[in-house]
Amino acid sequence: MKYVVLIGDGMADRPIDEIGGLTPLKKALTPNMDRLAREGIIGKVRTIPKGFHPGSDVANLSILGYNPSVYYTGRAPLEAASIGVKLNEGDVAFRCNLVTLKFDNSDKSGIFMDDYSSGHISTEEARELIAALNNKLKNDELVFYQGVSYRHLMVWKNGSVNVECAPPHDITGKEITGYLPKGKGDDFLQKLMRQSVGILEGHPVNIKRIDKGKKPANSIWLWGQGKKPVLPTYQEKYGLKGALISAVDLTKGLGIYAGFEILDVPGVTGWLDTNYAGKAEYAINALKNVDFVYVHVEAPDEAGHSGSYKDKIKAIEDFDSLVVGRVMKGLQERFSDYRVLLMPDHATPIKVRTHTDEPVPFVIYDSRFKRNNENVTYDESITERSDIAVIEEGYRLMDYFIKEAFN
């Protein structure tokens, strides 16, 4: 048996007036996902436990079958694993976004979060900026590590985890004063963020970006802190050898802790221009050697954060045709027994431009047991039905998918 998990990050949404009260998932043309919904088990799952922030880290940890109440230590340690940063005892990793701040006054009072991604700055440009930060701020207790695009990492030796930090994508357009780090070590972290403005604002990379009409990466934003987690591998949990495909360091880090092979697909960006087809091709080829493949596509979530329903519809349609459709075609051509789990990790509604914690729809398709769910399409309406599977604790979904569905 081969197992494939297809994650359209943040696909779920809420009704939008501009598209007739539909959601992007309902509006999008998704024949491949609709087919799976007609022929598989449909259900809803709560991937965010009560009391947890609705982040992709918590959601994907749940989907992979790990109880966040037991295993979650923070987002940044997962990203550290992805980029090969070894955390020692006492090390605290922080997610370090390169962001665009907007200053309303010349004295820099009235500071707003203009863009959590600095206009999706390129990895090449970011490399120079992270190097500049290390040149000025690195010491025996502090170092910055480059990631992808705007997503980077800071490690603070013997640092504090007892500090409240706001995700920058949650405060787009808002004045930042009320969202700066609060708690033990907040003075140190706020000082770093202020110092970064002086280093980055006049950097040649940003001068060139401004000249081209692009948003400058004129500050860092620190959040998602935590220490190294310890997870049982999939070989230990399920007796399965796995692989993972994603453009996002967070998801890759989860895969590393789960014992998966991380497949690096050329041209994956986490945005609308990502190599969707490449992800599908690599997933099918990987199944020659592994039992389980987890395919994560970030683009719908990024479109949700940007507030563009048109971009989100396009991302969903591309996910359906270039990932779901191609994966299903490859499975049908090469394997007889296979099972597919299709779902978002959480909702990222256009109206709020951030993650929310409502249950999301899922489909489990099995090549051996095809159902006939008449008039079902894959969208949020599934969660309103009474004839569905209901998983209240998200971490139990993986057991259901691998061990219980169709039995």
Q: Compute the distance between CA of residue 291 and CA of residue 240 in angstroms, rounded to an integer.
A: 6
Largest CA distance in the chain: 67
**pLDDT for position 148:** 86
At 316 the pLDDT is: 98
Q: 333-384: per-residue pLDDT in tens? A: 999 999 999 999 999 999 999 999 999 999 999 999 999 998 999 999 999 9
pLDDT digits (tens, 9 = 90+) for 136-188: 999 999 999 999 899 999 999 999 999 999 999 889 999 999 999 999 999 99
* Res. 244: pLDDT tops 80: yes
The pLDDT value recorded for residue 1 is: 96
The confidence score (pLDDT) of residue 99 equals 98
Per-residue pLDDT, 107: 56
The predicted model scores a pTM of 0.85
Burial string for 102-141 (b: 16+ CB within 10 Å, else e) reads eeeeeeeeebbbbbbbbbbbbeebbeebbebbbeebeeee
> Which tens digit of pLDDT belongs to each residue from 288-333?
999 999 999 999 999 999 999 999 999 999 999 999 999 999 999 9
* Element housing 332 (H / E): helix 325-334
Domains, the chain, with CATH or none: 2-72+230-404 (3.40.720.10), 92-226 (no CATH)
pLDDT band at 104 (very low <50, low <70, confident <90, very high): confident
Considering the chain, what is the average pLDDT of its residues? Answer: 95
Per-residue confidence band for 217, with pLDDT thresholds at 50, 70 and 90: very high
Quick check: 71 pLDDT over 90? yes
